[in-house]
Structure formats: structure tokens, C-alpha cells
Chain A
Amino acid sequence: MLRRRIQRGLERLIIGLLGAAAVLTILTTLGIIGILLEETRRFFIMPEVSVAEFFFSTRWEPLLGEEMHFGIWPLVCGTVLVTAVSACLALPFGLITAIYLSEYAPARLRAVLKPALEILAGIPTVVYGYFALAVLTPALQRIDGSIETYNALSAGLAVGIMTLPIVTSLSEDALRAVPRSLREGAYATGATKFDVSLKVVLPAALSGVVASYLLAIARAVGETMIVALAAGGLARLTLDPRGQVQTMTGYMVQIFLGDTTSGGIEYRSSYAVAAALFVMTLVLTLIGQFVLARYREEYE
């Protein structure tokens, strides 16, 4: 009897410990939000800074001369530009590759393609940064001489290569989850494989594909090492991918690499930028999760 009670108590304890581990994930989120809010608040109460300037000014010049400007838009613009270039590569090619893998590819080709994509997904981002700087940029410069040493184009392409496997694997999962009966029904009406893939399977898996797009874009927005190496360090409000831009993550790297003191204004500004970055990626992943959850309900 007593042994049984001890055992009971022990099990309760273990389950409590497991629960504590789970609660740690919540603490992590609360920690991130709390720290970003507090440091951002301290940034905004500094006399050189105003909330209005942060959201409405188009100049980000935190380190230049006596007159500092903290308008977030040039950094957002750099991030959006790099993300857009990456999306142009990753979204269409990722989806087409996913359709090919799910609907067309013979087993032999799959055996080559899947590992190749897995390896691409496992390569550290700093390697892609090196690739952008040492291979892509010189190659692009040969095509177009006006491309600068640091540019948004090659950084964006490298980010696109990095996010391509994310789109492919998540989209393929979604396409494969479409029940066979849908395909067979379409074939029975005389449809070709092309018709089945694009007009039946793809629409049925659309929410999964959209979720994969959103998650890939979120990863591109938060990507750091590639842009720190290849995109440059000048915050500019431009849509020309040939020149250098600074992204939000790129600015944070610049600050944390430098010798700025921890109470200084540049240092605090990086927390404000981090807060903006966190909000952007959070919104993207939340929508992605929401869409994904809905699609899961449909076919299980």
C-alpha cells in the first residue's frame, strides 16, 4: 500500500517536472517580449529619439555625425528588397519542384533530389553568405557591370537558395496529403497529369502551399549571416537590388560587432529594430500556423 503511494507521488513529481520543462517555452517567449519591450521603451525615452521619427522618417543615420536620424523605413526597405528577391527564386521554383516530386518524379530521380534538398536545407547560412559574396556577386558582376561589391541581389538570391528547400518540403507534404481519390476521379474524366496536378491537386493543397510560402518568407526576413556578409552596410531607401542595402538584421550585426557601449543610443536602437523584426516574423508565422492548422483539419 505504502509502496504504491510512494510510486504515485513519484509519478506526480515526474509529470510536474515535465510540465515545468514545457512552461519554459512560455518563459522564453515572455522573456523575448519583455526584454524587447523594455529596451525599446528605454530607446524611445531618449531625448534624441521620437516615436514619430521612428515610424515616419525615411532616414536611418544612427552613426553619422552629430545629427542622428532614426527612421526605420530604410532598414525595412532593405529587408523587403532582399526578401522579395529571395521570394522570386524560392517560391516559384520551390513549388514547381514540389509538384514534380509529388506527382511526376520517378523513384530514381526522387532518390537524388530529396537528399540534395536535405543537404541544401542543412547547410549553415554563413556558408550561403560566403557563396553570395565569393561566387554569386562576381558572376553577376560579369553579366552587369553596374552591380556593386555588396548588393541586395546576390544576398537575396542566396537567401532564396536557403529558403527553397523549406518551400519544397512543406509544399510537397501538403500535395502528398491530397487523397488519391481526388486524383483518380480527375483521371477518370480524361484529364492529363498536368491537368490533375495543377487544377485538382494544387487547389486542394493550396493552404499548405501558402503556409510554406509564409514560413519561407519569415525565415528570409530573419536571415542574418547572409545579409551581413553580402548585402552591405548602408541603410538606403531604394528598390534597386544592384546596390548595397542594410537590412534590419544586418544593422543588428553591425551594432553587436562594434564597440558601442551597452547604454548607448546606437545599442538601444538595435533593440527597437529587433522588436520590429520580431513583430514582422511573428505575424508571418502566426498566419502560417493558422493556415496550416486549417489545412490539417481537412484531410485527416
Chain B
Amino acid sequence: MTAAPPTPPLPTGRPISRRSREVKNRLFVTVCIVSAALSVIILALLLAAIVYEGREYLTWDFLRNYPSRKPAQAGFKAALWGSIWVTAVAGVVAIPLGIATAIILEEFPPRRRIPRALHWFIQLNVGNLAGVPSIVYGILGLTVFVRMFGLFGSPNPAIYDEMLRIRLRSGEVIQAFLVESRGEDEQGNPTSLIVENPVTGLRELAAAEIADATRIYAKQHRFTLSDGRRVVGGRLDRSDDGQITLTTDAGEHITFPASAVTAYRTTNFIQVGDPDSFFYLRVPFGGSVLAGGLTLALVILPIIIIASREAIRAVPDSLRQGALALGATRWRVVWSIVLPASLPGILTGSILAVSRAIGEAAPLLVVGGVVLITFVPRNLMDDFAAMPLQIFNWAGRPQEEFRKVAATGILVLLAVLLAFNAVAIVLRQKFSRPLQ
């Protein structure tokens, strides 16, 4: 026999008066307003602090200059253009993939058992991917895009030598090691570089001569010596007395004098095309625009999928049924009815996702590292800077002045984001008439 459940104790004493409950209600409203005001106050405070700190360096020069050691000359040009390149890659890759996945999930629910299980799993998985920290995507990008699982050797300073690929204003291209930078102009940049090529030796280049310089990783050095020998190796060490020691990939050391070298070239990556042209490709991608963009694409893909699914779900079923009744195939219905009707929602979601990509720093930090970049990318294989990374770099420096430069960078970043969001809001307002 089970015992009867105990009856709840009846409220004793006077019943709670209407008045005291009204007082409680009003008190709660006050708490609510204070709490709600908090977010507005924080936002105002944040914006005010950034405008106050950042106003000093907000000039057109800030958008025209490259980063510099002197705060007054520091600029955002490389970061701004780097962000544009990387985000464009991310958007171009992620938006079609996201919409395609959303269509499959919403419009083509499978009937058989195994595809149905897969369908369910993809749904669950998309939700989980949205919750994966972005720095973890950075690790994925580093392994898959930057290194390609090390299948082509790893761009690791222990195996690769870091060199500069310098293009001169005369059109000449030099591959050489940086030995020393000399002098300092008023922008804090060196006035000349001393570089060394194993064949041509030391050479001083005035800053005015240099059109641009890119960092390359040389994996293999091939020397032709004056006695006809060919020497191929992975790692290069140069001593002060002109001796070159090559360490081959097998670990063998070969030493010869630099004066004996008649020809020299390096191979970096498996590459197609001219590194100066737009159509230049290489594998692995290294810490390039393409690697960064693809990584960001993975970060925003779940966001686009979720937003697109919601937009597609909002299309009334009657539209689909009408089209099906007229004899349209299922794909025809999607292409001619569902997609046009859900396009505003999809676009809004995509724009918001892309603006998330503009502000993402952590995955790019893992993929590309924070490097001092003083050029605008020319192709997908160039190194890149990015706005949030540059801000991170400036904000983390101990000098007070660079904090201000960071705030100026934030102002530019927020302005770009605001422009994106304005477009999204306009789209939403313009197309948000409910479908009948």
C-alpha cells in the first residue's frame, strides 16, 4: 500500500494582499528597466570610449598607410584590403554551400531509412558546428589548408628557409635572405635593406628601389658548382667566411664555398603560374589569403545554413503545392518558387554571416599568424593582414599610443560592419512583406 501524497500546507495567516502584489510587480518593473538599460549603457560607453580614444589618429592617412613602428604613421591599408580579400573568399565559398545544404535539409527530406538517418545527423551536426569555438576551426584550417596534412612537407622553419622575394621598380626579381635593415625614415621604415643571395652575394637595396617584397618559404636549394657538381638540399646555413652548408633532407651535410656557386635556385611549393600574377596557385596553400578565406568559410557555413533554413521554412506550403499541382518537378519548385520567395531572408542571413567573418580574429591568427604586412594581396597565395588581427596586435602593445591606434582601427572596422548591417536591414525592410 502506498501512502497518500501529503497535502501541501495551506497558506497560513493573511492572504497576500492585492496591494503588496502590485508593489512587487512595480519593483520588478524597476529591476527590469535597470537591467535592460544596462545593455544600452554598456553599448553607449563602449562606443564613446572607442570614439574618444580613436579620434586622434582618424585621418585619411590612416587608411593609406601601412603599419609602422611609429603610432602617428601607422596605417590600416594592408589590414583593410587583407580583410576584403579573405572575406570575399569566405563569402564566395560559404554562401552557395550553405544555401545548397539548407535546400537539401528543408526541401528534400529522404524517405528511405539510411538517407533519413544521414539527414537527421546532418541537422544535428550543423547545430553542433555552430557551437564549435572559432579557434578550433583555425586548427582545422591550419592542418588542412595551410599544411595539407604535411603531404608536401611542412612550412616549418626547421625544414623551410624563410626568404624574401623582392620585386624592384626596374622589374628585376630577387630571391634573397634578409641580412640587415638600415636607416629609418620619418615613418619608421628602413631606408635600405641588405640582402644576400648565395650566387650574387651581398647587395644593398634602397627602399625607393623596391616595389614590393613577399616572404617565401624555400624548401629546397639547388646549387650548380663551378666543378659541375649539382647539390640539392633542404636547409641552408651561411657562415661569415662565405662557406655554405647544405643539409639535405636525409640529414647529410655538404659544405662548399659560396665562390664556387655558378647557379642557384630554390623550389618552394608545387606551384602554377607566376607569383606576380592574379592566377597564381600553389600547394600547400601556406598562410595565404586562400587558406584564411576557406577557414573563415567553414566558420560561417553553419550560420548561413541555419539562417537559410529558417528563410526557406517561412515560405508557405501552399505555394509549393500549387506549383506541384501544375506539374512542376521538385527541383523546379525549389528553383522557381521557394528560392525567389526566401531570397531576402537568405541574403540577410548571409550578409550577417559575412560580417561575422570580417570580425573573426582567432581562426586567422592560427592560420596566418600576426605578421607585419606592408602590401596589398595580389593573388590568393599572398600573405595577408586582417583588420581584427591588426587591432589585436596594436591593442596588445604596451605603449599607450598604440592603444589609441587600435581604437582608430576599431572605428574603421565598426564602420565597415555598420555598412554591411545597414544593407541587411534595408533588405529585410524592403522584402519582409508576408507572402499570401
Contact = CB atoms under 8 A, between A and B. Distances in A.
Contact of A263 (B139, B156, B362): B156
A96 B35 contact: yes
Nearest to A128: B46
Interface stretch (B119-127, B197-205, B218-226, B249-257): B119-127
Given A22-B100, A224-B362, A131 B392 contact: no
Given A35-B143, A126-B388, A252-B366, A29 B104 contact: no
Interface string A6-43: 01000100110111011111101101100110010000
Looking at B36, B143, B301, B406, the one whose CB has the most chain A CB atoms below 10 A away is B36
The main secondary structure of chain B at its interface with chain A is helix
B361 interface: yes
A145 to B, nearest CB: 20
Contacts of B370: 257
Contact of A29 (B43, B128, B156): B128
Contact of A257 (B130, B365, B403): B365
A124 B131 contact: no
Given A15-B108, A225-B361, A249 B36 contact: no
Interface stretch (B17-25, B173-181, B262-270): B17-25
Indicate the member of A19, A25, A190, A193 with the most B CB atoms within 10 Å: A25
A229 interface: yes
B294 to A, nearest CB: 11
A22 B133 contact: no
A93 interface: yes
A125 to B, nearest CB: 7
A161 B43 CA distance: 9
B140 A35 contact: yes
A222 B134 contact: yes
A14 B413 CA distance: 38
Contacts of A15: 104, 108, 331
Interface in B93-114: 96-97, 100-101, 103-105, 108
Contact of B39 (A120, A222, A252, A263): A120
B421 interface: yes
A6 B281 CA distance: 36
B388 A225 contact: yes
B122 A125 contact: no
Interface stretch (B209-217, B236-244, B314-322, B352-360): B352-360
A177 interface: no
Interface stretch (A49-57, A65-73, A285-293): A285-293
Contacts of B302: 25
A39 B32 CA distance: 48
A116 interface: yes
A34 B366 CA distance: 18
B340 interface: no
Contact of B135 (A36, A127, A161, A274): A274
A253 B365 contact: yes
B92 interface: no
A35 B366 CA distance: 15
A26 B122 contact: yes
A278 B396 CA distance: 26
B127 A289 contact: yes
Query: Which range holds the interface residue count of chain A?
Result: 35 or more
Interface in B28-42: 28-29, 31-33, 35-36, 38-40, 42
Contacts of A174: none
B49 interface: yes
B49 A131 contact: yes
Contact of B24 (A7, A122, A192, A229): A192
A164 interface: yes
Given A122-B352, A135-B49, A263-B158, A130 B391 contact: yes
B307 to A, nearest CB: 14
B144 A194 contact: no
A126 B395 contact: yes
B304 to A, nearest CB: 11
Contacts of B129: 25, 28-29
A200 interface: no
B132 interface: yes
B131 A100 contact: no
A225 B387 CA distance: 13
B8 to A, nearest CB: 15
B133 A32 contact: no
A7 B100 CA distance: 19
B221 to A, nearest CB: 19
Contacts of B126: 25
B24 A93 contact: no
B45 interface: yes
A96 B25 CA distance: 13
B190 interface: no
Given A25-B126, A122-B417, A261-B158, A100 B301 contact: no
A274 B128 contact: no
A182 interface: no
B426 interface: no
A120 B137 CA distance: 23
Contacts of B142: 256
Given A134-B407, A222-B136, 13 more contacts: A24-B101, A24-B301, A28-B301, A39-B143, A97-B39, A113-B40, A123-B46, A123-B417, A125-B361, A127-B359, A229-B396, A262-B147, A277-B135
The 10 closest A-B pairs by CB, nearest first: A222-B133, A124-B359, A285-B131, A100-B32, A21-B100, A194-B25, A224-B362, A96-B35, A262-B156, A192-B25
Interface of B: 18, 21-22, 24-25, 28-29, 31-33, 35-36, 38-40, 42-43, 45-46, 49-50, 53, 96-97, 100-101, 103-105, 108, 121-122, 124-140, 142-144, 147, 154, 156-158, 298, 301-302, 305, 329-331, 352, 355-356, 358-362, 365-366, 369-370, 388, 391-392, 395-396, 403, 406-407, 410, 413-414, 417, 421
7 contacts: A39-B143, A100-B33, A123-B414, A125-B362, A129-B395, A197-B28, A257-B370
